[in-house]
Structure 1
Amino acid sequence: MATYAALASLMSVLDQIQDHPRISNCFHKKQLESLSHLVGFLLDFVEITHSHVGVLSEEYEVLESDIASASYAAEDVIETHVVDQIHSGLILLDLQSVIEVIDSVKDKVGNFKKEMGLKLDQKEGPAYSLPTPPSTSSSSNGKSKMVEFDEELIQLLDALTGRQPSLQIIPIVGMGGIGKTTLARNAYESRLILNHFDICAWATISQEYSLKKIFSKLLSRQTSGVGQEIEQQLGQKLYQRLIGRRYLIILDDVWSIDAWEKMMFFFPDNNNGSRIIITTRLSNVSIYFGSSYFSKKFLDEDKSWNLFCEKAFPQEEVCPPQLEEIGKKIAKKCKGLPLLIVVIGGLLRKSSCTQEYWENISQNMNSILDSEEQNLDILSLSYRQLPAHLKPCFFYTGIYPEDYEIHLSELIKLWIAEGFIKPNKIKSLEEVGEGYLKDLVERNLLSVGRLRLNGQIKTCTIHDLVRDLCIKTAEKEKFFYFIRFCDSPRALTKERRILFLGKNSEINHDLLSHALESAPLTRSFLRNAGWRPVRFRLLKVFNVDYTDSLPSDIFEQINLRYVWIYYDFYKHKHYSRELPWTVSLLWNVQTLKIGGFGIFYAPTEIWSMPQLRYLEFARLCLPTPPLRSQEKDDSIVLKNLHTLKTVVDLNLSEEVCKRIPSVKILKIKYNDFLPERSSRETFIYNIGCLHKLESLNCQLGNVQPCGNLVRNLKFPTSLKKLTLSGRKIEWEDLTTIGSSPNLEVLQLKDGSMTGSEWNPVEGEFLRLKYLFINSWELKHWNAESFHFPVLEKLYLSGLLHLDEIPLGIGEIPTLALIHLLSCNESASMSAMSILEEQESFGNDHLRVVIQFWRKMELERFTEKVVDFECFNSNNLQLQSLAD
């Protein structure tokens, strides 16, 4: 919704100007306050009026257009003045004409409300009342469940585990949203499948596919880590990994036979029952394979109704009697398409449970669904019913490529940069943004992907049809200007957000650069590859996935709020670079993130960037902060900094800690060549001064033991996640860590621990849910269930000498997973003994996963444990990763 986005962005600019020690001086304070009051009035009007569907009309749309135009014009005047002020030091800007324009729009709003018969309470400012539908709450923060189609799943499992030895390709065909991927996912995650196949791998193909990314995904490797390897080399590595092994490969969302023909030679037929599942919307793709295929059918009325109830009433899964008749009518109109049922159910879940409201939804639904265009019409109901503040946030999910795994933390950063998230006196902007995301998930417009170690949502995905709706609606409302493939873009004189939907190889750079030079009002530029410098005077968001050059003038575009660049150091054969001092001119920047493998050296001026919230580099050296002229000098305090990583050899002096008082996520790397031992200890000694710190990742370097470093540290009570790696830490030093009252996640990586025996102390680790241990020396672990009373997941890696996992660990009532990777046989057998004992007690909640690097290790282990009663348990998974 462009109107709300325009107002929210303007309000964000006004708030930040008033709080900025340098910029606020170039405006009249009373004028800023007056303008903020007017914008706040209009924001409330749009939010409240928009939620009342009956008020929307042609007149309202015209009024919204006037509000948006006035807001954009005001923002242009103000931000242009800020740019000029910083560059040239101009005089105060008189905002009276801007105020008059906004005030005239407020008068139109008043007239509109009088015509509509709305009440205006002058004492409360923008306080008029409209009935708003109550929203329901939900505690779901994990993956939403789908109705399982038992018959189809059983048939697919039979086909996957059947006796046919030759390689079988099993297509699943059906229209978008009918549940092809869900069926494949349910089979892929089945215990039967995990135990039957040596290797299981999944890759999404999509219309615009990259063989390099597909092979990297199937090899479980990050694309950025494959260096200069070409597709052929990666394909050969995949072939070598699969040869001689029984494998299951899922190729999801295949759009062309051409894609398959480029990959098929790298899937060997081992004559051992290997299988490949291909999901596709195109029947000609499935027919190509000349074998029987699974054709996903529409749900019948009973299954449609059950799924509808599950999504509309997630707590009870039962429809109230007064709504059952109209509810069944709505479910029937979805014609058995699961995606539509899920999204409409999510809409009704968050809305008023009245017959009148549900009847209104039913009347707005198409009765015939024969094409994806008509399906989009149904899905648009869910968009139209979104609250005003969620619409621009929903639009932003369309910037990601098809089938992309969206990291929610990055999406929230973009929302904050655009000004979409309204400040809240109780919650931080990040917490408010998480609430927005949860709302979109509960409405089933986004699907949960991966979870964090603490169980919170880490990533999400968006269905292709929902993404199509998002893009088409955003384009229609002129929220984004999309440049596709080989388009010859027109002059972009009025476009505020430009999104490139295409491959770098398909760009006509000369035409694009010429068009971009005529984009004086552009605030957001987002694209997936490559960059040729173009100066955007008022640019706020600059998001480029990859660039082989880092133009210094990007740090001179002083209106920026969000910068994300992946920079290829190695292509230029240098591994370090200095950030220019002009970075401090970015008065409003919130996110400064540069990926790559090199190291950046920041200037002293970086301490004078009070709006910074996220400072993220592969490696960053921060200078000693300048002395403050007085104790209350806030101009060189990063009071809003939320995330700082990865900083190299940061000396956490008391003074530095005072400069980053709000940091919640901190990642530090200390090199092996730090000064003498006593100096190294002082570098991190003051960590307890960071009273809001929740996540600390400390890479201590591969040095000799450093006295009682960890034992003498005082961690902040706010700490929830701690990762240590690289230094020889004594097991008894963990007493300090275990006493942290809120610690939920502890990761001991890279052989960070020294000593052969660990004796935890009762009363510690009271809230620990996730424990990861990688230790080459640990032999004896003496623990009982009361040492880790709420532990949920235990990961052990590279424990080559551990005699056994304590049997008492299995008695922890919350324990759901024991996962061993490349551990010795005695530790692995003890894990199976724990599982066997727990299953004998009737505990079917615990899962055990044991992974070996080589197939021969797995075979040798299997021979020794085949007589265990739990050997055929669905809760046991034995795997080899690579030969």
Structure 2
Amino acid sequence: MADAVVNFLIENLLQLINENVKLIGSAKGELDNLLKVAQQLKGFLDDAAKYGYTNSEQWKVLVIEIHKTVHRAEDAIDKFLVQAKLHQDKNTMGRIFDWPRNLIKVRNLAAEIKGINDQVKELRSTNQALQAIPVIEHHKKEEVTQGPSLENDAVVGFDDEANKVIKRLVEGPAESVDIIPVVGMPGLGKTTLARKIYNDSKLTYEFYSIVWVYVGQECKAKDIYLRILKFFKKNIEDHLNDDVDTLAKAIGGYIKKGGRCLIVLDDVWEDEVIDHVMKVFAENKKGHRIMMTTRDLRVAKFANPEPHELKFLEIEESFELLVMRVFGKGSCPNELVAIGKKIAKKCGGVPLVVVVIAGALRGRLDKKDWERVDRNVVQHLGDHTEDSCLKFVKMSYDHLPQEAQMCFLYCGVFPRGFDIPCWKLIRLWIAEGLIKPQPKFTLEERAEFCLTDLLNRNLVIIMQKRSDGQIKTCRLHDMLYQFCKKEASNRCLFQEPDQSTLDPDTCRRLCIQPSNLSDFLSTAPCAEHVRSFYCFSSKQKPIDLSPNEIKLIHKAFPLMRVLDVESLKFIFSKDFNQLFHLRYIAISGDFKALPPTFGKFWNLQTLILNTSTLEPTLEVKAEIWNLLQLRHLHTNIPAKLPSPTTTTGKPSCLQTLSMVAPESCEKDVLAKACNVRKLSIRGQMAAFLGAYKGGINNLKELQCLEHLKLLNDVLFINKTLHLPPAFSNLVHTVKKLTLTNTRFAWSEADKLGTLEFLEVLKFKENAFTGDFWKPKSGFSALQVLWIERSELESWEASVINFPVLRQLVLISCDELDAVPLELADIPSLQEMRLENTSKAVKSAKSIRDSKRSKSMKLKLSIFPPENESKVPQ
């Protein structure tokens, strides 16, 4: 595989040139030439991946040269674009631009890239010549291959895990093959658990044959068959030339002669492996079993929809393992117990991390040494790359597609231990150019596929899920975080600057801790090569910097594309208004309006504004309808949008409007924003619902709308609000609907039942009033029902009303006497959560017990716990 970062740089350069050739006037000829040689280089890089010579020393030198040259080319083009934009603003676009110095620079860069092309061609030619030499392969007679493990020592906390898997192996279908996958992130102890189970004496009574096969990344079907065959027949030389079908039949013959067979497949990466191994069980009536370990949840679920997901160690278990590996059979000295538990906690429940850190502590009894390790737990992971943690992470990283490699490394821009909002991560991936467009999919859909892939491979941890099952926040385990930081730094993807000078050839993205920001800005940095500037903080209140310090950020990075500084109190400046390359802006401040100058950011894709103003709305003065790249607009108070200057021309590509004032939802505005998928409207809803100036009727312009929120701001309403009779026709495409403080009568809720695509329905803060609800119709597609702060006392419903309901959430429904017992008859109902809804607890338990009596699972969570031995259940 060619270097992912190099390919990313070249592809982004090609895209930059292609998209902007028309804007640069007389530079077109030079840029066309640069485009041509860059395309040639991309072709040679693809050859490098094909012929596999990217690990040579000559290649490594070339990679550095490519980085530097492509970065300089990018800088030159971006400077051209800024000048062109400035001329355009002065209405002098008709002039013929003549910037001899910059034209010469572009011409020289094209020559440099051509020189690199020649070197790559020579390297390719040399390697092709080497490949022409025939290579004779010999099968080893005694081939024993083993994957990485935590040695054969018993690992603390695995007894319960082993017993659960053994129970599934022993029980289950008696006359067919059953597969039990064990899945988890690198270092969690999958192989160690499999070894523990493989060696368990209980299995020798249950299985006639127990076969261990290490698979790994490169294993072919024939290799797997030969390894299985070796268990039944010591000398397999006669079979080395057999094809896979012959080998499968031979193994099947041995299995048929004996009793139940268990095959343990360690470290499976591809689902084809399962298909291959299933072929050896020609006779399936004995209850044979396959157990497998894998890092990939997709592969695990291909084998069995309910894999065994290996848990993280508890803190006490981590400490016990740490003591075992440091002191052997001895105990931990009392003075080291407290610091030892702190260290164990920082290992994040991953046994491999505990083992590595124990290695750094072994033989050290001085408390100061343990305190030093405590301060540098994460750094210790990077110091042992060759024999432990990061090496195993790299195996997963190398197996990723190039696009996913870049997205994974990019997760390291967030601080360690940071809960990453998935929507923000996806927007940033797109703004950074990490997601490449493909036909039939939006960039957001492609990014979601990539995130799902990383989650399935256990490279990213799910922290919170949304009610519809989508991932809300995620996080990198410290071990994976350290890998991302180390690998990204090696590949010049991003860096955390210190007091040293920024290297213009390598430093393109800066991640700065808020505590270091003032010191950094005091150096008066000036780095036009920087494209992204990040400053994240988990604190709610923005950090105050002086106006001069804020302005330094604008002035220092004139070619910036990504600015994410929500942790700072931001102000606008003249230099900020000239950051024409900005694609992503996330800022906080005391904003009362979005100034007209934002209309000049023609590359802007995502705008996130958090204001502390006391004004009820944020007035948008910028001509946002001219921003043809703008896809997502987020504000923490309702935005008042301007009317489009023209109703003709290209519609906006806005997908998210969160949130807007009701009075902004005029027909011409929504017609221009016809591609919006997520819309949040907040304000006084009476006029809007009453169709004043079209009001709610204008929603019919949004033919792509999937998520809709209506939040009524008025606490005391004299006039009763009503859902329009034609509501379902106006928003017929909606999949997720949230109503807050609208105070409709419960009798009107049936109007929502006609929304044929509605999957998630949330009633918050007295969305409906009254003490009784009995739906007359059904919600045919509804999977999640959420009722919060309701006056509801009595509720009648059955499977007819909610045929596919999966999750029910009741929060602060203090007066609700009971959950309808008939909901127990809904086959799909898997989860119920009750918070501060004490009167209904008894009925909820009855529903749970009824489901259990039918051998159906129901997770019941009650908060605060009331007479529950274990919550959630």
TM-based fold match above 0.5: yes
- 5 Å-filtered alignment, 1:183-332, equals 301-302=195-196, 320-322=224-226
| Cα displacement (A) at 1:420 | 1.2
What is the letter of the counterpart of residue 834 of structure 1? I
Distance (Å, rounded) in 2 between the aligned partners of 1:619 and 1:110 = 57
Q: Which residue of 2 aligns with 1:743?
A: 758
Picking from 500, 520, 541, the partner of 2:562 is 541
Distance (Å, rounded) in 2 between the aligned partners of 1:806 and 1:310 = 52
| Cα displacement (A) at 1:59 | 3.2
Secondary structure at the counterpart of residue 479 of structure 1: coil
| Cα displacement (A) at 1:793 | 0.7
Distance (Å, rounded) in 2 between the aligned partners of 1:749 and 1:305 = 54
Contact 1:581–1:605, Cα closer than 8 Å, also in 2: yes
Contact 2:736–2:760, Cα closer than 8 Å, also in 1: yes
The Cα RMSD (Å) is 4.2
Picking from 508, 512, 521, the partner of 2:529 is 521
What is the letter of the counterpart of residue 522 of structure 1? V
Contact 1:496–1:524, Cα closer than 8 Å, also in 2: no
Q: Within the alignment, does 1:786 sit opposite 2:800 as a pair? A: yes
Distance (Å, rounded) in 1 between the aligned partners of 2:602 and 2:25 = 13
Superimposed CA distance per residue, residues 718-766 of structure 1 (whole angstroms, 9 cap, x where no aligned partner): 321110111121333333322222211000111011233333244x422
Contact 1:777–1:801, Cα closer than 8 Å, also in 2: yes
Q: Which residue of 2 aligns with 1:450?
A: 464
Picking from 602, 612, 621, the partner of 2:630 is 612
Distance (Å, rounded) in 1 between the aligned partners of 2:632 and 2:213 = 41
Contact 1:774–1:798, Cα closer than 8 Å, also in 2: yes
Q: Within the alignment, does 1:563 sit opposite 2:585 as a pair? A: yes
Superimposed CA distance per residue, residues 616-650 of structure 1 (whole angstroms, 9 cap, x where no aligned partner): 1101423332331xx5423xx42x21211122234
Distance (Å, rounded) in 2 between the aligned partners of 1:404 and 1:44 = 39
| Cα displacement (A) at 1:841 | 3.1
Picking from 602, 608, 633, the partner of 2:649 is 633
- 5 Å-filtered alignment, 1:454-493, equals 454-483=468-497, 487-493=498-504
What is the letter of the counterpart of residue 733 of structure 1? E
Contact 1:343–1:444, Cα closer than 8 Å, also in 2: no
Distance (Å, rounded) in 1 between the aligned partners of 2:10 and 2:773 = 58
Q: Which residue of 2 aligns with 1:668?
A: 681
Distance (Å, rounded) in 2 between the aligned partners of 1:782 and 1:104 = 77
Superimposed CA distance per residue, residues 482-514 of structure 1 (whole angstroms, 9 cap, x where no aligned partner): 22xxx423244444434345451x5553x5343
Secondary structure at the counterpart of residue 661 of structure 1: coil
Picking from 608, 614, 628, the partner of 1:593 is 608
What is the letter of the counterpart of residue 8 of structure 2? A
Distance (Å, rounded) in 2 between the aligned partners of 1:684 and 1:27 = 50
Q: Which residue of 2 aligns with 1:709?
A: 723
Q: Which residue of 2 aligns with 1:622?
A: 640
Contact 1:600–1:620, Cα closer than 8 Å, also in 2: yes
Secondary structure at the counterpart of residue 602 of structure 2: coil
Q: Cα distance 1:515–1:722, how it changes in 2: closer, same or farther (>3 A)?
A: same
Contact 2:214–2:265, Cα closer than 8 Å, also in 1: no
Distance (Å, rounded) in 2 between the aligned partners of 1:15 and 1:734 = 52
Picking from 105, 125, 128, the partner of 1:117 is 128
Aligned residues: 642
Q: Which residue of 1 aligns with 2:596?
A: 581
| Cα displacement (A) at 1:66 | 4.0
What is the letter of the counterpart of residue 537 of structure 1? P
Q: Cα distance 1:53–1:766, how it changes in 2: closer, same or farther (>3 A)?
A: farther
Distance (Å, rounded) in 2 between the aligned partners of 1:100 and 1:312 = 44
Contact 1:651–1:682, Cα closer than 8 Å, also in 2: no
Contact 1:661–1:690, Cα closer than 8 Å, also in 2: yes
Structure 1 unaligned blocks of 5 or more: 119-146, 156-175, 183-296, 314-318, 333-341, 351-364, 570-575, 863-870, 878-883
Q: Within the alignment, does 1:848 sit opposite 2:848 as a pair? A: no
TM-score, structure 1 as length reference: 0.65
What is the letter of the counterpart of residue 673 of structure 2? I
Picking from 709, 725, 732, the partner of 1:697 is 709
Distance (Å, rounded) in 2 between the aligned partners of 1:311 and 1:729 = 60
Contact 1:668–1:697, Cα closer than 8 Å, also in 2: yes
Distance (Å, rounded) in 2 between the aligned partners of 1:38 and 1:347 = 42
Q: Cα distance 1:52–1:742, how it changes in 2: closer, same or farther (>3 A)?
A: farther
What is the letter of the counterpart of residue 828 of structure 1? V
Distance (Å, rounded) in 2 between the aligned partners of 1:154 and 1:329 = 16
Superimposed CA distance per residue, residues 124-167 of structure 1 (whole angstroms, 9 cap, x where no aligned partner): xxxxxxxxxxxxxxxxxxxxxxx994536899xxxxxxxxxxxx
Distance (Å, rounded) in 2 between the aligned partners of 1:305 and 1:73 = 59
Secondary structure at the counterpart of residue 834 of structure 2: strand
- 5 Å-filtered alignment, 1:748-763, equals 748-762=763-777
Superimposed CA distance per residue, residues 462-495 of structure 1 (whole angstroms, 9 cap, x where no aligned partner): 1212211111121122222322xxx423244444
Moved more, 700-709 or 658-667: 700-709
Q: Cα distance 1:177–1:304, how it changes in 2: closer, same or farther (>3 A)?
A: farther
Distance (Å, rounded) in 2 between the aligned partners of 1:418 and 1:688 = 34
Q: Cα distance 1:735–1:675, how it changes in 2: closer, same or farther (>3 A)?
A: closer
Secondary structure at the counterpart of residue 559 of structure 1: coil
Distance (Å, rounded) in 2 between the aligned partners of 1:546 and 1:757 = 46
| Cα displacement (A) at 1:51 | 7.0
| Cα displacement (A) at 1:662 | 1.7
Q: Within the alignment, does 1:684 sit opposite 2:700 as a pair? A: no
Secondary structure at the counterpart of residue 709 of structure 1: coil
What is the letter of the counterpart of residue 842 of structure 1? S
| Cα displacement (A) at 1:520 | 1.6
What is the letter of the counterpart of residue 468 of structure 2? N
What is the letter of the counterpart of residue 708 of structure 2? L
Distance (Å, rounded) in 1 between the aligned partners of 2:862 and 2:188 = 31
Q: Cα distance 1:712–1:330, how it changes in 2: closer, same or farther (>3 A)?
A: closer
What is the letter of the counterpart of residue 512 of structure 1? L
Distance (Å, rounded) in 2 between the aligned partners of 1:148 and 1:746 = 44
What is the letter of the counterpart of residue 497 of structure 1? R
Q: Cα distance 1:55–1:435, how it changes in 2: closer, same or farther (>3 A)?
A: same
- 5 Å-filtered alignment, 1:35-114, equals 39=38, 42-43=41-42, 46=45, 49-50=48-49, 53=52, 55-89=54-88, 91=95, 97=107, 102=113, 105-106=116-117, 108-114=119-125
What is the letter of the counterpart of residue 622 of structure 1? K
What is the letter of the counterpart of residue 520 of structure 1? E
Q: Cα distance 1:677–1:15, how it changes in 2: closer, same or farther (>3 A)?
A: same
Distance (Å, rounded) in 2 between the aligned partners of 1:481 and 1:152 = 42
What is the letter of the counterpart of residue 810 of structure 1? A
Q: Which residue of 2 aligns with 1:497?
A: 508
Identity fraction in percent: 26
Distance (Å, rounded) in 2 between the aligned partners of 1:56 and 1:425 = 33
What is the letter of the counterpart of residue 585 of structure 2? V
Superimposed CA distance per residue, residues 566-604 of structure 1 (whole angstroms, 9 cap, x where no aligned partner): 33x4xxxxxx51222111111101111122443532114
Q: Which residue of 1 aligns with 2:11?
A: 8
Superimposed CA distance per residue, residues 446-465 of structure 1 (whole angstroms, 9 cap, x where no aligned partner): 22222222223232221212
Distance (Å, rounded) in 1 between the aligned partners of 2:10 and 2:718 = 57
Structure 2 unaligned blocks of 5 or more: 130-154, 164-184, 201-211, 218-222, 232-262, 269-291, 301-351, 361-380, 538-542
TM-score, structure 2 as length reference: 0.65
Q: Which residue of 1 aligns with 2:378?
A: none
Distance (Å, rounded) in 1 between the aligned partners of 2:675 and 2:490 = 40
Q: Cα distance 1:740–1:113, how it changes in 2: closer, same or farther (>3 A)?
A: farther
In terms of Rg, which structure is larger? 2
What is the letter of the counterpart of residue 75 of structure 2? D
Q: Within the alignment, does 1:412 sit opposite 2:426 as a pair? A: yes
Distance (Å, rounded) in 2 between the aligned partners of 1:782 and 1:776 = 15
Distance (Å, rounded) in 2 between the aligned partners of 1:450 and 1:812 = 26
Distance (Å, rounded) in 2 between the aligned partners of 1:514 and 1:706 = 61
Q: Which residue of 1 aligns with 2:521?
A: 512
Distance (Å, rounded) in 2 between the aligned partners of 1:541 and 1:45 = 30
Q: Within the alignment, does 1:804 sit opposite 2:818 as a pair? A: yes
